[in-house]
Structure 1
Amino acid sequence: MNDVPALYACRITHVRTTPRRYRLRHRTYMWLVDPDHPPRLPLPLRPLARFDPRDHFTGDRPSIRAGLDDFLAGHGVHLDGGRVVMLTHARVLGYVFNPLTLYWCHGPGGEPRCVVAEVHNTYGGRHCYLLRPDGSGTARAEKEFYVSPFFPVDGGYRMRLPRPGELLGLTVHLDGADGRAFTATVRGTRRAATSAALLRLALRHPWSTLAVSAAIRVHGIRLYLRGLPVQPRPGHHTPENAT
């Protein structure tokens, strides 16, 4: 399990199939880290990768791991000190936007216990799903959080979330009453988390998470101009009541 920290150069694809087919693609990079032992970068590179507890769960815990443990305890899950591996975007030059952060959670003997999927929307909200993947890494969950202004909060997710190795391959399907509505994929290739690798990726994808957030908004405007109806946004959700 000595596989962190690591970097993944990623290609992210969003495909909407209803009510109108539309595709969004962008490239970025993500970190695979142990939240108990985040990477310690040389001082000049620290603005390129910060892992801040305020960006996860309730945002008021002293560490990311403490926020995760509180969330799990609220759902009757205890890792008993077991290891966690986290796939996320780091804060870059003071900014971060994390559409999806994943936590692969293990017991003290290394056995898989669960996966937590933490979802952020562009309105500043966040919501967590507690998942129990099967042997293929596939899990299901009812949608409970407003993400896109063009989809209501209904339907269900089917997620394939195998733990990253040399390759990263994640798939999230949203199924509604009329069938498959949306598919997101993340495909990536592992890089050693060296200073040189981080610099190359940061230069290739400057302001990486800001670019992701901007791309989502720009494509949202295009969809609106094409006549897609906007779904009303429900009240605020918090991680404390997320499942």
Structure 2
Amino acid sequence: MNESTPSRRVALFVTCLVDLMRPRIGFAAIRALEAAGCEVIVPEGQTCCGQPALNSGDRDHAAALARRTIEALEGYDHIVIPSGSCAGTIRCHYPEILADDAHWLPRAQAVAERTWEIMAFLDEVCGWRPEAARCEGHATYHDSCSGLRELGVKAQPRRLLKAVEGLTLTPLAGEETCCGFGGTFCVKYPAISNAIVAEKAAAIEATGAGLLLAGDLGCLMNMAGKLHRDGSKVRAFHAIELIAGMGDGPAIGEDA
């Protein structure tokens, strides 16, 4: 960053899964954002974005969580999230949830307009590349449904990963197909979810890659769990971990 360029004041929305299951993704996000010249704040008061309630049809609780989240995230230049599904909830669905509330709708719209999935933010807003990142390995990449379809996150992570020295990226057959997680879907319909992730695991193995990358921890936990149950040696990481130079630690499931 040029010394004359003002620092972007960024609120990091960590997400429930990252906070509870894989905090190193949050630390990787901070490292990458700071390397891109951002001042990073993790606002107190953030909890769930309300996505599970929204997906289950509980709009009242989803709206209550949306209001709480908006209050926590107002006042920052940008809100950045290491999850396409949570970012999609805030950016695309908060204005819908609060559409009939004259007080909260403009606040929801203002927060939504400043909300970004982290790899799209680093690529599109910051124009940053991970010059110091290195990972000797062969990887494949899965596109999460929400990030891809709601936010258009597709080329951005691949451009960032291309700059990681030593990393080879092989296309995944059906890379845009759901992995079967779907938040509460995998709980409500476990047999269907398992059938979907079985096809995904087979496609991952067929690439010959030793690393599986994606931008949503829920998807990664689902795919990594299936690969582990099948005896696969493929190791799963959130893409931001490699981009931030933190790909040498335990893979998802290995630090449980």
TM-score normalised by L of structure 2: 0.30
Greater helix share, structure number: 2
Using CA pairs below 8 Å that are at least 6 residues apart, which structure has the higher relative contact order?
A: 1
TM-score normalised by L of structure 1: 0.31
Greater strand share, structure number: 1
